[in-house]
């Protein structure tokens, strides 16, 4: 009996490939059509899901734009507005120019600019605390915690980053889908650019400072860096001097608000660069060590 069973198993093993091949041959058209329908259904589901994500991103970006526009507007001087506008417009113009050639490259560039801007806002407000780099999601969490961003900023950036990952790394979507994400991303970028914040630009990178009001004996081991500080919105500008031992500062560069609290210098005087009159530089001050903002993102790459 066992020999008969073994024989049946052997025959079945031989006939199974023939049966499978015959079935595939007979029902080939039906099987191919079924596979196509399953694939179409999967792709359609992905398209619907992606479209819903892009719609949510667009609505959230519009909410951010409205929330930032509704913030109390500080008085902005005409000169400052003229100075700031070209820099912000150049970034948007660069992204749009890239989008005309390659939507995907434009999306990657825009994501990089958003990441850089978030890092620069943290640094210029004194909240980067010497760190070289921070992922965008962490940057926004820090900004939310320290500055209290408008309600939809964090969710909008999360939606944008999810869409960016799906479109760039997941291979989903068409060029039209990518351009929709770029459009929403530009709205978010402009909204972040419009957030009121103080800026500090190097006015004089290395100024001699003295231990006496007569400016006869130089303070050893330090120089003065003069910053041109613009209040949020550009309402006022002022010159401020701080001690430093750093030599990386370049005239005209915007710097982070960073300090070495372990190095404190005693009272000092200097000659004011505009009036040429001797003035007190500081009564006591920690060392200013702010990095150039345009180098922060590069450091992390």
- How many CA atoms within 13 Å lie on the side-chain side of 282? 21
Give the pLDDT of residue 150: 78
Residue 207: count other Cβ atoms within 10 Å of its Cβ: 17
Cα separations in angstroms, 29 against 25, 26, 38, 43: 9, 8, 14, 21
In the predicted model, what is the mean pLDDT of the chain? 82
User: Predicted confidence band at 295 (pLDDT cuts at 50, 70, 90)?
Assistant: confident
Question: SS3 letters for 113-139?
Answer: HHHHHHHHHHHHCCCCCCCCCCCHHHH
Looking at the predicted structure, is the pLDDT value of residue 258 above 50? yes
Taking residues 237-266, report their average pLDDT: 96
Looking at the predicted structure, is the pLDDT value of residue 46 above 70? no
Looking at the predicted structure, is the pLDDT value of residue 301 above 70? no
Helix, strand or coil, per DSSP, at residue 275:
coil
Higher pLDDT, 18 or 211: 211
Instruction: Label the pairing between strands 259-265 and 285-288.
Output: antiparallel
Residues 6+ apart with CB under 8 A from 21: none
pLDDT tens string 93-139? 999 999 999 999 999 999 999 999 999 999 999 999 888 888 888 88
Give the pLDDT of residue 206: 97
pLDDT tens string 264-290? 999 999 999 999 999 999 999 999 999
> Which of 153-157, 159-163, 216-220, 293-297 holds the top average pLDDT?
216-220
Distance separating alpha carbons of residues 47 and 176, to the nearest angstrom = 12
Tokens (6 digits) for 252: 């005209």
Cα–chain center distance at 118: 4
- How many CA atoms within 13 Å lie on the side-chain side of 91? 23
Instruction: Label the pairing between strands 223-230 and 268-271.
Output: unpaired
Cα separations in angstroms, 77 against 73, 121, 208, 217: 12, 21, 32, 40
User: Predicted confidence band at 3 (pLDDT cuts at 50, 70, 90)?
Assistant: low
Distance separating alpha carbons of residues 284 and 225, to the nearest angstrom = 15
Residue 68: which of 220, 246, 187, 176 has the closest Cα? Answer: 187
pTM of the model: 0.74
Taking residues 34-59, report their average pLDDT: 63
Phi/psi of residue 94, nearest 5 degrees: -65, -40
Distance separating alpha carbons of residues 282 and 31, to the nearest angstrom = 83
């Amino acid at each position: 009996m066992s020999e008969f069973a073994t024989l049946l198993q052997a025959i079945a093993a031989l006939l199974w490939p023939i049966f499978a091949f015959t079935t595939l041959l007979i029902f080939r058209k039906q099987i191919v059509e079924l596979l196509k329908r399953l694939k179409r259904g999967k792709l359609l589901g992905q398209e619907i899901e992606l479209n819903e994500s892009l719609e949510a991103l667009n609505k959230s970006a519009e909410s951010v734009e409205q929330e930032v526009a509704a913030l109390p507007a500080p008085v902005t001087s005409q000169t400052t507005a003229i100075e700031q506008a070209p820099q912000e417009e150049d970034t948007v113009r660069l992204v749009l120019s890239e989008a005309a050639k390659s939507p995907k490259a434009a999306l990657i560039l825009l994501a990089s600019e958003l990441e850089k801007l978030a890092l620069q806002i943290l640094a210029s407000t004194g909240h980067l605390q010497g760190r070289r780099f921070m992922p965008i999601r962490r940057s926004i969490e820090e900004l939310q915690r320290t500055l209290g961003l408008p309600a939809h900023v964090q969710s909008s950036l999360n939606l944008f980053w999810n869409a960016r990952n799906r479109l760039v790394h997941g291979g989903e979507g068409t060029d039209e889908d990518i351009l929709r994400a770029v459009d929403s991303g530009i709205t978010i970028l402009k909204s972040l650019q419009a957030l009121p914040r103080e800026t500090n630009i190097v006015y004089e990178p290395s100024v001699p400072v003295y231990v006496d009001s007569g400016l006869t004996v130089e303070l050893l081991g330090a120089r003065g860096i003069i910053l041109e500080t613009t209040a949020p919105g550009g309402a006022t500008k002022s010159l401020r001097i701080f001690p430093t031992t750093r030599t990386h500062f370049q005239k005209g560069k915007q710097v982070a608000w960073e300090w070495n609290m372990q190095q404190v210098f005693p009272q000092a005087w200097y000659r004011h660069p505009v009036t040429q009159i001797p003035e007190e530089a500081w009564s006591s001050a920690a060392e200013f060590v702010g990095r150039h903002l345009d180098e922060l993102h590069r450091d992390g790459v």
